[in-house]
Amino acid sequence: MRSILISLFVLLLFAVSLMAQETNLPYGNNPAAGKYYNIRGIKMYCEIYGEGKPLLLIHGNHGSIKSFAHNIPYFAMKYKVIAVDSRAQGNSQDVGDSLTFEMMADDEAALLDALKIDSAYVIGWSDGGINALLLAMRHPGKVIKLAATGANLWPDASAFAPGVWENEKKYYDAHKNQVWQTEKEKTIGSCSCWIGISPTSPCPTFILSVVHH
């Protein structure tokens, strides 16, 4: 019995040590795992970790693969994790003048095609949660199951904390006719989006929401 406990303890230490090493990887800028794909007119960046059934991770607004730095090692122990930088964010380059959630959802479907993956589990956080829901709604065959956290539940200003909508609207009104010059300006300046979505999803869906009072 004692030898079994010692063996289990050693295995536990090994697992913890392995996860700690993987957490120190430069997620979001890891040449060993990252690659650019030509997706719908843009260069889309993603990194792949682990083996198993495919799991697509979609970050929130102004985020990147780095947002999941503490989640990737855990999921990579069981799944083939596909961590992606959405259009005009992170390392994914886009010189276009438009950005919508529908565009990003279609990008993710096209990326799965490029990776020769028929369907995947999907986790989306914040705007990534909206992208995940739209991915399931627009491309139902691509999503096995999804979990969305922090996505909009209502297509109006009640989805925002008090004051956020007013500030975002002011920024949009002040910059809607501005011509962005550099790639950095285009990436940062194009990331304000609004959407109304249906709660109907064609696949098993878990939604976690936070209500502001």
Which DSSP string corresponds to the chain?
-HHHHHHHHHHHHHHHHHHHHHHTS-TTS-TTTEEEEEETTEEEEEEEES-SEEEEEE--TT--GGGGTTTHHHHHTTEEEEEEPPTTSTT-B---S---HHHHHHHHHHHHHHTT-S-EEEEEETHHHHHHHHHHHH-GGGEEEEEEES--SSSSGGGS-TTHHHHHHHHHHHHTT----SHHHHHHHT--------S--SS-EEEE-----
- At residue 118, the pLDDT reads 97
The CATH number of domain 14-208, selected from 3.30.420.40, 1.10.4000.10, 3.40.50.1820, 1.20.1050.10: 3.40.50.1820
pLDDT of res. 96: 82
Confidence of residue 163 (pLDDT cuts 50, 70, 90): confident
Which of 7-21, 100-114, 160-174 comes out lowest in average pLDDT?
A: 7-21
**What is the structure's pLDDT at 152?**
75
For the cut 80, the answer to whether the pLDDT of residue 62 exceeds it is yes
pLDDT at residue 175 greater than cutoff 70 = yes
* pLDDT at res. 121: 97
Q: What is the pLDDT of residue 172?
A: 77
Of 30-34, 174-178, 202-206, 209-213, the range with the highest mean pLDDT is 30-34
Percent of the chain with pLDDT over 70: 69
Average pLDDT over all residues of the chain: 80
Under the banding of pLDDT at 50, 70 and 90, the label for residue 21 is: low
Whether the pLDDT of residue 203 is over 50: the answer is yes
